[in-house]
Chain A
């Protein structure tokens, strides 16, 4: 029965995605409906994850569909930190349709079912996957923020007369949030990598770990470029491009590390 919790989460995310689209066309009360959809959906998904965690012995999201479920929860959670404020509603339009679609995929593949037994008993592996997933969720939100920042920059450069009517967050705020999100996510990725590097003498380095190390270097470069060299636009483009590496690594994780 607990699996039924996926429905309110799915419906609420779907409602939020539709309401964000409506709000982009005509700003107003639809924006509030959207933010409530995000909050309710996230709470329902949290309850679902709690039930899954209680029922499972060990890590309950060890299937690729299960990890997708956790990934969606982390992405929406990262978005929720500031995303429900009116200025960030256009960010919701980029995040929520993806979240709703991925949760639907996870549901269809059985990722929202209860798992009695898990394939993983190694704590370090669990820490690794949990932190890497959290980092990827952060990078995904950072990519959405960077996309919004680059779009706003384009509007300002082209002197679009309706730039004020779109009620976007300020360019500086988007820049700061992108950098802060990447910094926090890089910290999580570091913890995730350290957890798995401890296992290297025993298990060796596989291609996915190597690729994750490359991703770590890539995001560290973004931070250096932005903070030390002041290359704002380049860093934003790289954060957006980094979403590609998140996708590749996420798919790699799905097909190599989980059932």
Chain B
């Protein structure tokens, strides 16, 4: 059985191509079922990639079938799609999936959403013994990378640092309420990052009402005039401010008045404006955490320093897990030999037992079962060592430099 990956991603294809081969989870499940054709196939489709993993006896035929299906899906000729496709086999395909699951191949490296998408693809795909093992291993590798490294805590921009800090305060952002003060580009970008993590928009306060209403309509909240921020603070968990106001738009006294109704729930305030919008004294209030643009830059710088080391660690984990999977894959080649040896040994055992039948006729049913079990155990013990050596030899052969597949 051969493992094959055919796919396209943000590394090779522009969005115009990616959107044409992208499918929703139902479509991915249907595609997997169609391409499995009695074998195994799983389709992983996200906004940044569409990949089909196939376990097939005939890799060339499987490759042709997958490529044609993707061309049909995109509505273009095979030749037109070809430059945007990549193909990987065996261990290289496995290492690639492990890197994907770990978030190492993502547009925003280290993001965690992909692990859930890999899981969904696996659960809804047409996996058999090989792909089942491959995807289980990928989920394990993805989790291990998140557990053993800090790549998920390595924001590369101030807006992602704001989102990471919000997660540090609130944990799961599902249901957390965001307030945007100032409908500018920077604040909107930071708010969108938070919304992507499951938060909900409660209000947009802007000097120009029309722009505020437009943004509130787009992101799903209500628009308020700047003067009403303080009273709306009672419901917000995270406030992102980025107006061009030369004066403070929110003072510590305004926030203090809102705190009683918040019953100890933390309030994270992100001030992205220069000059600053939020009174620095707010940080002194109980349960309030105020970060300005310099604080966020410091967080980004700090995490960037350790980022390379964390990514190197994550890559090493993906490669090590790939090698483990490769060892297992190599043993598949010797499975027919092992099966044959076992069958032959079992046939000999049964033959010898049959020959000895007349001499065992005096034994009771229970004693016959004991003899049967005894001979079976002896055969298994005799075969154990050669089978282990056979598997080791297959793994060794795969590890030999001339047989290595670089991912």
> Which A residues lie at the B interface, using CB under 8 A?
27-29, 31-32, 86, 152, 156-157, 159, 161-165, 167-173, 175, 226, 229-233, 235
Contacts and interface: CB of A to CB of B under 8 A. Distances in A.
Interface in B245-303: 260, 262-266, 283, 286-287, 289, 291, 295, 298-299, 301-303
B149 A164 contact: no
Contacts of B172: 170
B299 A163 contact: yes
**7 A-B pairs with least C-beta separation:** A230-B263, A170-B171, A230-B264, A232-B264, A161-B302, A161-B298, A164-B153
Contacts of A175: 264
B54 interface: no
B290 to A, nearest CB: 9
A171 B150 contact: no
Contacts of B149: 27-28
B171 A169 contact: yes
A54 to B, nearest CB: 35
B264 A27 contact: no
Contact of B303 (A27, A164, A235): A164
B289 A156 contact: yes
Given A31-B147, A156-B289, A164-B302, 20 more contacts: A31-B148, A32-B148, A157-B289, A161-B295, A164-B150, A164-B153, A164-B154, A164-B161, A165-B150, A165-B303, A165-B306, A168-B168, A170-B168, A171-B168, A171-B170, A175-B264, A229-B263, A230-B260, A232-B266, A232-B287
A156 B265 contact: no
5 contacts: A159-B295, A161-B295, A165-B153, A229-B263, A232-B286
Interface string B143-170: 0000111100111000001001101111
Interface in B40-60: none
B119 interface: no
The dominant DSSP class at the B interface is helix
A161 B301 contact: yes
Nearest to A226: B264
A170 B238 CA distance: 15
B342 interface: no
A74 B291 CA distance: 40
Contact of B168 (A31, A32, A159, A163): A163
Contact of B302 (A27, A28, A165, A226): A165
A171 B169 contact: yes
Contacts of A232: 264-266, 286-287
Interface of B: 147-150, 153-155, 161, 164-165, 167-172, 260, 262-266, 283, 286-287, 289, 291, 295, 298-299, 301-303, 306, 313
A28 B313 CA distance: 9
A28 B148 contact: yes
Contacts of A159: 291, 295, 298
B236 to A, nearest CB: 15
A223 to B, nearest CB: 13
Contact of B170 (A31, A86, A157, A172): A172
A198 B89 CA distance: 74
Nearest to A89: B147
Contacts of A152: 168
Among B155, B164, B168, B283, chain A packs the most CB atoms within 10 A around the CB of B168
B148 A161 contact: no
B171 A230 contact: no
Contacts of B266: 171-172, 232
A173 B171 contact: yes
Contacts of B299: 161, 163-164
B150 A27 contact: yes
Nearest to A158: B283
A167 B262 contact: no
A229 B259 CA distance: 11
B291 A231 contact: no
B96 to A, nearest CB: 24
A72 to B, nearest CB: 27
Given A27-B149, A164-B153, A170 B295 contact: no
A226 B303 CA distance: 34
A69 to B, nearest CB: 32
Given A159-B291, A164-B168, A171-B168, A231 B264 contact: yes
A162 B287 CA distance: 20
A167 B167 CA distance: 11
B185 to A, nearest CB: 25
A233 B262 CA distance: 14
Contacts of B168: 152, 156, 163-164, 168, 170-171
B164 A164 contact: yes
Nearest to B170: A172
Among B147, B167, B260, chain A packs the most CB atoms within 10 A around the CB of B147
Contacts of A27: 148-150
Contacts of B148: 27-29, 31-32
B155 to A, nearest CB: 7
A171 B165 CA distance: 11
A175 B263 CA distance: 13
Nearest to A232: B264
Contacts of A161: 295, 298-299, 301-302
A226 B265 CA distance: 10
Contacts of A31: 147-148
Contact of B165 (A164, A165, A226): A164
A205 to B, nearest CB: 35
Contacts of B161: 164
A32 B140 CA distance: 14
A162 B302 contact: yes
B299 to A, nearest CB: 5
A172 B302 contact: no
B170 A170 contact: yes
Contacts of B147: 31-32, 86
A153 to B, nearest CB: 8
